[in-house]
Structure 1
């Protein structure tokens, strides 16, 4: 019934224009046409807020004025305002009929700057309709054409609004760098036209939305707070967009209580504006997902039932896809797997679905397959979301976004200086023209020469640094890959020889040791806590072969926090392994191993000491030295890029009981960079 009512409204408007407009296709004299156009401009600038606050009353007024106007171009400008009111009341069918009527008129007229304004307005509204229905690619095309036509028109002050729409479309398509580019361009135009700050807040909450997609909530909050300064001056639909974006940002942070608060503010806002059906139903849709995340299935179902008829009515593919996604999760929470499977069968994603919607759907599909026991499919959807995260929020986009934001700040200052310089230059241009041109050419030539020199030098330095990093990385990978098989096969050989069937604990420790060793082989550096955990597992495995006389002792000073201390991986394990294999295993009597960690003036000191008779180069048990070579080469590579180096000392010591042992000491500086 509601859909039929909309069609009737659209037919009424079309019928009215069909009666009035065809008979007035011939324009009046130029002076009368200019007078009527000025009257239209005055009326629109005075009542523009009514398009959002009282759209139906505004529609009645513009239709009456359209009927009284004599010039056809003026009449269709009034019709474009009626088109805006249809969009404000979500009368999509009527809006599409009016768009076709305006396009038919503009297609028959010769070019003029005022006609370009009308074409731009029509294309902008057409893009908004495509956006609401979920056809974002088509919306982007319309916004680009609207921008191109507006450049040929007479109202440059409206260009930022079109660019905001174009930026938002690119954000929805996942092209966040282009979204920020168009927002930046809108800001530049606002600055160049000296527009007041209250014209910029849509750009600010648009930038906030882009950073929300990047999950950079610090920047998101920064631009949201800039927009909030003009909250009281916002129109109702602008308040809706602001509150909705704020709610979405807290939804993606997992703060569903705060998100619900913002979405409910939207519901309260639109109570005074019954024509804002789009904003109301979008808030219902967002509220339902928040309640799903809180496992409040009944509340979620209530809001889904409220908003689903509206989005079916307007045919919004993105919203309907989102509704089906939530229904799948709702069925999962109610353990209705048959319903969830049915929804998966009938619900398909179109190519233009927002990336965030696909991300949410994949998360629920992962949960569905986990609960139905299909772990392979669950893992596939987990990988899809990981790839989606990488494609949307990779480092390249972050760098591009930061660069464009910085360039806006620089360009705004540069533009202000250029304007001031131009005013001063015009006063003496007649007398100094030749001199200034000559000087400018000389300066430009000098700057180009300096730039080329610095550019080539910078390029050479970057290439040299990149080659060094590549060589260092390859050396390190080669060194570390030599160690892992060496260590693992030694432990495996010993375990195969000595293990008995009942020694389950040792087998578990071996498995843990192997797994952790493989992990450490992939890491350049680890925390002290992780390294000591690995060493402890190794020592536990060796206890059996060394017997009851083996007494390891690990002491960590109270002012040392193992979770906060970083060191090259296996730096402690390799000296410990050497002590066990080459010193303690063949020793008679007590076999002691001490590991002490304390804080010194320059950093953290780590000592590994044994009573195995000391280091003897001529001993047949001394080993190949591969382990310590790896540690020394790793430290050497790291020391190349640090001002303070890691100190290493290996020497024999006389113990208090008179025995001789070997002591390996490492001193880790407090401020040390472990990145290559």
Structure 2
């Protein structure tokens, strides 16, 4: 059976060696990043399975090695295979793979990715040295792994290496150093925002330190923190938690509780065939517990189960522990010759735990008491008393050092937290001040805008009201001035020719006066209404001007008199001025043209006469009241409109060679006549 197993092991090692040798051929740089990315994806999917199904992961990793060209990626897959060897306690294969990885990394220039690979290799090397009891070497390689990992890319795995460093310090008796490494791991987890899954191993590692210091209150505090995440732990983490907590009850002398925890270890690892080391360690601890409660047969059962494994693995500290248990077992069974043989043949390893030496000395004292060699029994009693004093003093020193480190770390953390809190308060104060100033600015702005809008609206209302009042008063004044003026002119004419007028003339006069009163009440009229008024006026004036008076009224195409609006008396006043001041005293023909034409953007009204044109110094020039009324009315209306009414008055040369006066009004189509 041994030969077949050895052949399988050699075949496995040979296959790995062949793959590694073929991995060193040159290759193009194209695709290196993709291959490294594929490896990281592979490890992310299979990392947890290293401890659950290590042989399956090893097979997959070796298969992947054959498909990649980048040597660095190949050796990363080999490092995964190395981790599985440790999970299956295949120490010889692990040493072979470590040497191959070291040969490769020593030939390569240092880079972050290479530092990650070297860190993995040294970490595994430290674990192997810890497994076989060489803790000095383990601590050296764990420290190298830590230093290299800090130069690499995967900082998130640093807490795992720090835990290994802490465990090495504990087993070397440097409990304060171990506690410091654990607390650094916790601080790193917090600073890197690493998931809380990393923290339970740190908690039960700290708990184990306080077991060694016999500070069981602190021990239980950290174990209880770890227990909260028990269901989320990986199998190997559950094993460490159960095994270490059982050990804590062993040192308290509560062997029944310790046995319950160690039995839970056995039940756990039964579901994972590759956790051979963990299974045998559980049997070893159970054997010791049964010895302490004097159940020799149960103790012998578990001791005999685990001894072959530790002999094959060559783990000297475990074998020394088993020999110590066998001495006690022989003493329980009164088999002094067997106890003597074990004492004679047993060899103490170099890195033996002081607690183990203390237990061994206790059994030696008992053996020499049973053999009545009281001098040697007294020697071991004194030796244990000396060790008790030494251990007690060392524990006091360790507690003092631990307290000092805790105080130093807590002070550092507290100082950092105080500094961070101070900065956060400063930022908060700045934010509050900024928010306050922004709020004040917004409130002030809104107040100013409100006051401005309110004042503007109030000012606009007052302005509109004043403008409306002024416009109304001005129009009323204009109309009050216009109507008497007009009626006075007409009556003078009628009175001058009273004897020659007939009934028809009187009726026209009455119509003209009534219509004038109506127009005085209106701001605007239709073109039809205005032209009708002007026609009535011209008919009245025709008799006084004689047959030489020839008025012409023309409305062009596209002009709708009933729809076009214009200021009242817009045409009547220029016509009255033409008749009174230009045509009445003229010799010869007296012509008056009134034309209304459609233009592109409105209507054009022209009043033209042949009375010699506008002469400011003429004796016939009137007061200008009528045109002032028209201009003021148009000015008021233009203030309310975007498009304005345009007015022009100028002299023109007529085709007959005469000079005349032309009054022109440009009326926009869309014009508002409301004030």
CA deviation after TM superposition for structure 1 residue 21, in Å: 2.9
Q: Distance in 2 between matches of 1:64 and 1:426?
A: 55
Q: Measure, in 2, the Cα distance between the counterparts of 1:10 and 1:373.
A: 51
Contact 1:106 1:119 in 2 (8 A): yes
Let me know the Cα RMSD of the aligned residues. 2.3
TM-score normalised by the chain length of structure 1: 0.60
> Counterparts of 2:109 and 2:75 in 1: how far apart (Å)?
15
2:404 is the alignment partner of 1:397: no
- Alpha-carbon offset, residue 129 of structure 1: 1.0
Matches within 5 A, 1:168-247: 168-247=167-246
User: Residues of 1 paired with 2:150 and 2:202: CA distance?
Assistant: 19
**Following TM superposition, by how much is the alpha carbon of 1:415 offset from its aligned partner in structure 2, in angstroms?**
3.7
Q: Distance in 2 between matches of 1:390 and 1:36?
A: 59
Q: Secondary structure at the match of 1:200?
A: helix
Distance in 2 of aligned mates of 1:37 and 1:23? 18
* Deviates most, 361-370 or 18-27: 18-27
Q: Establish whether residue 309 from structure 1 lines up as the match of residue 304 from structure 2.
A: no
CA distance 1:407–1:339, shift in 2 (3 Å): same
Instruction: Tell me the distance in 1 between the aligned counterparts of 2:326 and 2:304.
Output: 10
Give matches, 1:610-649, under 5 Å.
none
Q: Aligned residue for 2:369?
A: 370
Other-structure match for 2:151? 152
Q: Is it true that 1:60 corresponds to 2:59 in the alignment? A: yes
Instruction: Name the CA distance, whole Å, in 2 between partners of 1:339 and 1:130.
Output: 32
Deviation string, structure 1 residues 103-161 (Cα, Å, up to 9, x no partner):
11112212111111111111111111111111112211111111121122111111111
Q: 1:245-264, aligned counterparts within 5 Å?
A: 245-264=244-263
Q: What do the CA deviations read for 1:585-614 (whole angstroms, capped 9, x no partner)?
A: xxxxxxxxxxxxxxxxxxxxxxxxxxxxxx
Residue 44 to residue 13, structure 1, CA distance change in 2 (3 Å): same
In the TM superposition, residue 392 of structure 1 has moved relative to its aligned partner by 3.4
The worse-fitting range, judged by mean Cα deviation, of 130-139 and 272-281 is 130-139
8 Å Cα contact 1:164-1:206 kept in structure 2:
yes
CA distance in 2, matches of 1:423, 1:157: 27
Cα separation, 2, equivalents of 1:74 and 1:281: 35
Deviation at 1:8? 4.1
Aligned partner of 2:408 in structure 1 is: 407
Distance 1:161 1:218, change over 3 A: same
Q: Deviations over 1:37-71 (max 9, x none)?
A: 12111221222110111111111111111111111
Deviation for aligned residue 1:416: 4.5
Report what 2:36 is aligned to: 37
**Cα-to-partner distance string for 1:5-47 (whole Å, 9 max, x where unaligned):** 6644543343223323333325644452122112111221222
Matches of 1:387 and 1:284, distance apart in 2:
31
Shift of 1:287: 0.5
Kindly indicate whether residue 289 of structure 2 is the aligned counterpart of residue 290 of structure 1: yes
| SS across alignment from 1:25 | coil
Kept in 2, the 8 Å contact 1:6–1:94? The answer is no
Query: How many angstroms apart in 2 are the aligned matches of 1:243 and 1:327?
Result: 25
Residue equivalent to 1:347: 346
Partner of 2:503: none
Matched, 1:122 2:121: yes
Distance 1:323 1:16, change over 3 A: same
Partner secondary structure for residue 66 of structure 2 = helix
Counterpart of 1:501? none
Asked if structure 2 preserves the Cα contact closer than 8 Å seen for 1:26 and 1:71, the reply is no
* TM-score, reference length from structure 2: 0.61
SS of the aligned residue for 2:369 comes to helix
User: Do the aligned residues in 2 keep the contact of 1:287 with 1:300 (CA within 8 Å)?
Assistant: yes
> Which structure's CA Rg is the greater one?
2
Match of 2:69 in 1: 70
Alpha-carbon distance between aligned partners in 2 of 1:251 and 1:12, rounded to the nearest angstrom: 43
Alpha-carbon contact 1:173-1:355 (below 8 Å) kept: no
- Give deviations 1:561-598, integer Å, cap 9, x for gaps: xxxxxxxxxxxxxxxxxxxxxxxxxxxxxxxxxxxxxx
